[in-house]
Structures are given as C-alpha cells and as structure tokens.
Amino acid sequence: MSNKYSVKTVDSFSDIVSYLQFGTQIPVRKDFHEFILSDFKIFQPISLHLRENRAIKGHCLLFQVDEILYFGFFNIQDHDPSKIEFLIERLQAYAQEHKCNTIIGPINIPTIIYGWGFMEKGSISSLFRAKPINPPIYLDKFKEYGFTLKTQEVSWEGQLPTNDQELLKNYDYQGFEVIDLTSWEELNAYTKSIIALNFRNLPQESLLTPKIEKVALNYVNFFVKFGELYMVSLLKDKKKDKIVGYISSLPNPFKAGSFSLYTLALDEEYRNKGLSWYLVNSIFEKGRAHGINYMSTPIEKSNIITQIMCEKAGLKLLRTHSIFKYII
C-alpha cells in the first residue's frame, strides 16, 4: 500500500485554501476565505495531501495546540478504504513525530462554517452550514485504528415552530427585558458579555474548538457579514441591570429562509423559570417576520433537557456527528 500512495505536506496558507475543497463537501467559497484565513493565522495549520500517481486523492488538515493534535477536513475523493487507512496512519505518525499525546477531530476550522465530526449513518445529507457530509466508512475506519468517541453533536431540524403563547403564560417575566439590537456597534459593545456568558454556562464538551476566546471575533465577523441583527437577543434582569442570558441564531448561506439556533446561555440562578422559552420564542417571532421558515439547532447529545425542548417544539433529530479522540 505504501508504494501506491504518498503524502505531501503543505504549509502555505494560500496553497492550503486552494486545495481545501478536497477535504469537505461544504463549498469553499471565495467569500469564506477571510474567515478561513483568520482561523489559519491563529492555529497555523498544515495540510496532508494523499497522492496517487501525483494526483491528489485525499486531504487532511492538522493543527497542534500544546500536546494535542487536532485534525479536520479529512476526506478521500473516492472513499477508498485503503486510502483512508493510509491517511489515518500518516495522521498517527505525524502526532508521534511531533510529541503529541492526543489526537482530536474532525474539527474543521473555521467551525462556524465547516463544523465538527463525521456524519453518522442515518443522517440527512442536505447542504447546511457546519454540517459535514461523509459516508459511514470513515467512522468505521477510525474506530478500527483505535479512535474512541469524544462527544456527539445532534441536529434537530424542521419548520420554524410557532410561538407557544399558552406555555409563556405559566411564567412571570415582569422583571426581565429582552434586548433587541439596533446597530452593529451595539453588538460589538455586548460581545464581551456574550463571551463571558458562554464560558460561565456552556458545558466544556460543547466548547470543541480550542482557543475559542481568540476565534470569537471571527465568529462575530461572520455574523456581521451574513447575518442580521434580529438573530441575537439578550436577556436583562431589570432590577440588577445585568445581562443574564442571550440567544443567537446564525444564517445558513446555502439555503434562503433558514438559520441555525446556535447558542442559548443562561446564568444558573435564572434557569427553570421559563426564561429559555422566553428567549426562544423571541427569536422565532423575529425569524418568522424576516422570512425564516426552516431551522436547525446543534446540541450536545448529552444535553437531554434542550433536546426535550426541541421535541416539544416539533423539531426532529435528523443528523448526528461524532468527534473522536486517540490517546498515544
């Protein structure tokens, strides 16, 4: 097998971007390049190109953070098992050569566009932002080579739910205010509060991308370019004059009239008071007014409460993506 194939290492960012499409079914559009290069400057990745008779047949992106090697954009053009095995072996060899103790992936930077994980069997394969597409053989092969499951992300999707006014009547929202942004400058002013809410409230397993504090601005810039202000709402405790929660949705550049309900964060003392429904219904109402009719929401599989909310809202579990780890 080693005589048939070879691997070339590529470290020029412009060259990596030129061949990145070999590693994903999600389009590498020119208007995405600024966000790709922004993450590249942070993570300093290299690409492995699997070649057969000098032609590129496979691709894998690598970047190292301390002693952890992250990989992404892992794809073989014809999904041939022997080529997949060869590239996995090169991935493992690279980690050993660079004294890494763990491999994690796929993490496809920038994940706000290209997402995480290998798609599990039974998932739908329609094009959507941050939803990688691949056949099940990648899952099988990585397991054969000793990779184990780190975490799973599930996607609940469907028609944008109608607001549940009866449910909202069960709670008292008099002491709270939903803040709707009116300018991009206002969004910038709240960015630090939003990042702090994430770190205080989101489970560690949901923070899959390393150096999240450094890539946060890239996420904001993506939102500014493709999103609209109505896609973010903040929750204020009027008595304490404090931002205690927020919800954000992100545009899907590949399908008009759709978005992802991306993040819902609420400080612990404000949970179990119906405030999550309050924020969610606010986003649904604004989305509907702006022509949104289809939504998807990524959730850690371990987050049962949020999945119950999705089911009650009429959404269906349509995709599952698995992120692997390998201990050296």
* Statement to judge: residues 187 and 244 lie in one domain: yes
* Statement to judge: residues 231 and 215 lie in one domain: yes
126, 153, 180 — which closes off a domain? 153
124, 153, 182 — which closes off a domain? 153
The pLDDT of residue 214? 80
* Statement to judge: residues 20 and 59 lie in one domain: yes
Nearest to 129 by CA among 278, 221, 274, 258: 258
* 52 found inside a domain: yes
* 236 found inside a domain: yes
174-193, pLDDT tens digit by residue?
Answer: 999 999 999 989 988 888 88
The residue behind tokens 């942070």 is 42
What whole-number distance in Å separates Cα of residue 60 and Cα of residue 73?
5
The residue behind tokens 């080529």 is 83
What whole-number distance in Å separates Cα of residue 86 and Cα of residue 76?
10
* 279 found inside a domain: yes
Contact 118, 132 (CB under 8 A): yes
* 33 found inside a domain: yes
* Statement to judge: residues 190 and 122 lie in one domain: no
Count how many Cα atoms sit within 13 Å of the Cα of residue 36 in the half-sphere of its side chain: 21
* Statement to judge: residues 64 and 168 lie in one domain: no
Start-to-end CA span in the chain (Å): 24
* Statement to judge: residues 146 and 220 lie in one domain: no
Kindly report the length of the chain: 328
* Statement to judge: residues 110 and 177 lie in one domain: no
Contact 132, 233 (CB under 8 A): no
Residues in the chain, pLDDT under 70 = 1-3, 202-208
Contact 115, 321 (CB under 8 A): yes
Please report, for the domain that includes residue 136, its CATH number: 3.40.630.30
Strand, helix or coil for residue 228: coil
What whole-number distance in Å separates Cα of residue 264 and Cα of residue 245?
8
The pLDDT of residue 172? 84
What whole-number distance in Å separates Cα of residue 297 and Cα of residue 235?
20
What whole-number distance in Å separates Cα of residue 207 and Cα of residue 225?
23
Q: Mark 295-311 as b/e (b = at least 16 C-beta within 10 Å).
A: bbbbbbbebeebbebbe
* Statement to judge: residues 58 and 186 lie in one domain: no
Q: Is the pTM of this model over 0.85?
A: yes
* Statement to judge: residues 147 and 24 lie in one domain: yes
The H-assigned helical ranges of 98-235 are 111-114, 137-144, 165-168, 184-201, 212-226
Q: Which residues is 265 bridged to in the sheet?
A: 246
What whole-number distance in Å separates Cα of residue 10 and Cα of residue 14?
10
Domain interval for residue 277: 158-320
* Amino acid code (one letter) for 270: Y
Cα angle 129, 134, 44 (rounded to 5 degrees) comes to 65
What whole-number distance in Å separates Cα of residue 164 and Cα of residue 281?
7
Our count of domains for the chain comes to: 2
* Statement to judge: residues 116 and 195 lie in one domain: no
DSSP string, 62-117: EEEETTEEEEEEEEETT--HHHHHHHHHHHHHHHHHTT-SEEEE-B-SSHHHH-BS
